[in-house]
Amino acid sequence: MINFKNISLRIRIFLAMILLVLIASILIVAVTIYQYDEETKEYNIERFGRKEAATKVRISQLLKKANLETVTAANLSKLFQQQIFDISKVHTLDISIFDLDGNLLKTSIINPFKDTIKKQISSEILKELEAKNPHRIFNNTEVKNGSNETSYSYITDLKLKRIGVLQLKFFQDNSEQKRELKEFMYRLAYVYLLMFLVAIALAYFLSSYITRSIKTISDRIHTTRLHKRNEKIALGKVSSEINTLVTAYNSMIDELQESAVKLAKSEREQAWREMAKQVAHEIKNPLTPMRLTVQSFEQKFNPEDPTIKEKVKEYSQTLIQQIDVMNSIASAFSDFAKMPIRKKEEIDAVSVVKSALDIFNEAYINYTSAEKVLLINLDKTQLIRIITNLVTNAIQATENEENPKIEVHVSSEKSVLKITVTDNGKGIQEDVAVLIFEPKFTTKTSGMGLGLPMIKQIIETYDGTISFTSEEGKGTVFTVTLPKT
């Protein structure tokens, strides 16, 4: 079953216009047939009325010509002995004359079956005729291909005295009118068919025109994002309703841009606050053993101790070791905070990745390449940095595996370099997967969690992307794509 709520506005407008044309066509046909029937009935009634009036005039002329002082039922029967047939023939009517009691006196109907001729008028008709003003009864009965029209009225003498009842019957043949109506409807059907086809085409183009601007707005809304530059809509001449929508959308874009700036500023401030906390935390870690070392040296210092030189050397090495840790912390945060300079040179990615892997001694690292030489414009140092970091993470992820396996693969897809690093390690849990590229996030017991965020920053500096797929307990695949130029 069709769900009309899910139908697009364009289809709704199209169907509505087609339905409107269809309903209008049906109504016009219905009104045409009705009007045609009504005009036919009116014409038949008027035609019968003219015949009736002419018949009465002829009867009056015959009564006047007879010059009888008193006209009775018997006189009427004799007077219209032959004339009733002449009048019936002239006006194509069936004429019957009854006395005032409703008994048949004379009729123009020639029927071999005399029993079928109505010989008396019912008392109900006589009463109705008496009650009506003017004294006339008209009945119209529809039959196949026509109608039977019957009227009853009084016959009066020259002094307007009632002397009988006149019954006129006429069969109106409507077959010709129906044939004409049928032909007319056929012609009208051809016209409506042409109009319907034109209406379909017109409805299609009108619905497309009406919804074109709305679709433009809809498409633009679908592509609107908070953390990207969104363009305003300019449609030129449009209706006032569409112009209101465009104005509202453009105002929303302005507000969204302001919100994005405020949000970016807030995120930067939050990031630096978190970074400051992390720097403070990392620096405090080596300071504690340094403090304990100094305190211990102060308490146990004895210049006369024969082993004093060895103890001073041991204390010095401990302090130097912690100072080196602090120095590495400062260097790591400095490197992360500093945007890598976009330096490009033509290098062979296949050989550079191979040289980056040479520093690792693990035999389970396997390197493959789809091509022998793959030239790319990139900073060699940064590419080595990316590979080193990803492989180091893979080694750490597989350190508890009985049969660790790491595969590094380099390939080319159209205009990009694709590097995949696959391991069979512990994988990444779903609840922490979204935090992998966040600064200071790490699942390891040591380290500052800056490795992946740093290489992500490097990759995005060169308009590349980094993504991963992971299954807990089975391993992880990191995919890096970098443009060749």
Task: Quote the CA–CA distance of 279 and 265 in Å, as a whole number.
Answer: 21
246 and 325 housed in the same domain: yes
Contacts of 157 (CB under 8 A, 6+ apart): 63, 71, 163
Same domain, yes or no: 89 and 154? yes
Q: What is each CA distance from 315 to 282, 312, 327, 422, in whole angstroms? A: 22, 5, 18, 44
Mark which of 140, 161, 180 sits at the end of a domain: 180
Same domain, 22 and 127: yes
At residue 176 the predicted structure's pLDDT band, cuts being 50, 70 and 90, is confident
Percent of the chain beyond pLDDT 90? 11
Q: Residue 191 phi/psi, 5° resolution?
A: -65, -45
DSSP 442: -
Residues 126, 168 share a domain: yes
Residues of 176-193 as b/e, b for ≥16 C-beta within 10 angstroms?
ebeeebeeeeeeeeeebe
- Residue 393: inside a domain, yes or no? yes
Query: What is the residue range of 57's domain?
Result: 4-180
**Same domain for 443 and 427:** yes
| pLDDT over threshold 90, residue 481 | yes
In the predicted model, is pLDDT for residue 479 greater than 80? yes
Both structure tokens of 257: 């841009």
Q: Let me know: does 439 contact 453? Beta carbons within 8 Å.
A: yes
Please report which confidence band the pLDDT of residue 443 belongs to, taking 50, 70 and 90 as the band edges: very low
Listed range (257-271, 386-400, 405-419) with the worst mean pLDDT? 257-271
Q: Tell me, yes or no, whether 60 and 141 share the same domain.
A: yes
Cα distances (Å, whole numbers) of residue 165 to 58, 107, 157, 309: 15, 12, 12, 160
Q: What was the pLDDT predicted at 444? A: 47
Verify that 319 and 386 share a domain, yes or no: no
Residue type, 97: I
pLDDT single digits (tens) 408-435 = 999 988 889 999 999 998 888 877 677 7
Q: Let me know if residue 203 belongs to a domain.
A: no
- Would you say residue 329 has pLDDT above 70? no
Asked whether residue 210 carries a pLDDT value surpassing 50, the answer given is yes
Residues 332 and 389 in one domain: no
Please say if the pLDDT value at position 441 is more than 60: no
> Is a pLDDT exceeding 50 seen at residue 180?
yes
pTM here is 0.41
Crossing angle (nearest 10°) for helices 380-397 and 349-357:
50
Closest to 68 in 3D by CA, of 142, 158, 139: 158
Question: What pLDDT score does 92 carry?
Answer: 87
Which of 337, 372, 403 represents a domain boundary (last residue)? 337
- β-bridge mates for residue 168, sequence order: 95, 151
Instruction: Give the model confidence (pLDDT) of 189-206 as tens digits.
Output: 888 888 888 888 888 887
My answer on whether 388 and 320 are in the same domain is no
- Written as six digits, the tokens of 111 are 């029927």
Cα separation, 437 vs 467, in Å, equals: 10
In a domain, 358, yes or no: yes
Closest among 149, 130, 120, 127 to 46, alpha carbons compared: 149
pLDDT band at 480 (very low <50, low <70, confident <90, very high): very high
Q: Let me know: does 248 contact 232? Beta carbons within 8 Å.
A: no
Residues 9 and 83 in one domain: yes
Nearest to 36 by CA among 44, 24, 48: 44
Residue 19 binned pLDDT confidence (cut-offs 50, 70, 90): confident
First to last CA, the chain: 54
Looking at the structure, tell me whether residues 248 and 165 fall in a common domain.
no
| 72 assigned to some structural domain | yes
Q: Looking at 321-434, which runs of residues are DSSP E strands?
A: 345-348, 365-369, 375-378, 406-413, 416-423
Residue 216 lies in a domain: no
3-state secondary structure of 379: coil
266-306 pLDDT, tens digit per residue, is: 766 676 676 666 666 666 666 666 777 777 777 777 777 77
Does residue 216 register a pLDDT over 50?
Answer: yes
Q: Are 472 and 429 in contact (CB under 8 A)?
A: yes
Token pair of 227 as six digits: 């953390």
- Say if residue 437's pLDDT is above 60: yes
Please give the Cα distance from 152 to 135 (Å, whole number).
Answer: 8
Reported confidence tier of residue 462, pLDDT bands at 50, 70, 90: confident
The pLDDT tens digits of the residues spanning 1-10 come to 455 556 666 7
Residue 368's pLDDT band (boundaries 50, 70, 90)? very high
CATH number, domain containing residue 160: 3.30.450.20
Q: Which of 137, 163, 180 finishes a domain? A: 180
Return the axis-axis angle of helices 240-300 and 308-337, rounded to nearest 10°.
170
Mean pLDDT of 378-388: 86
CATH of residue 377: 3.30.565.10
Quote the pLDDT of residue 233.
66
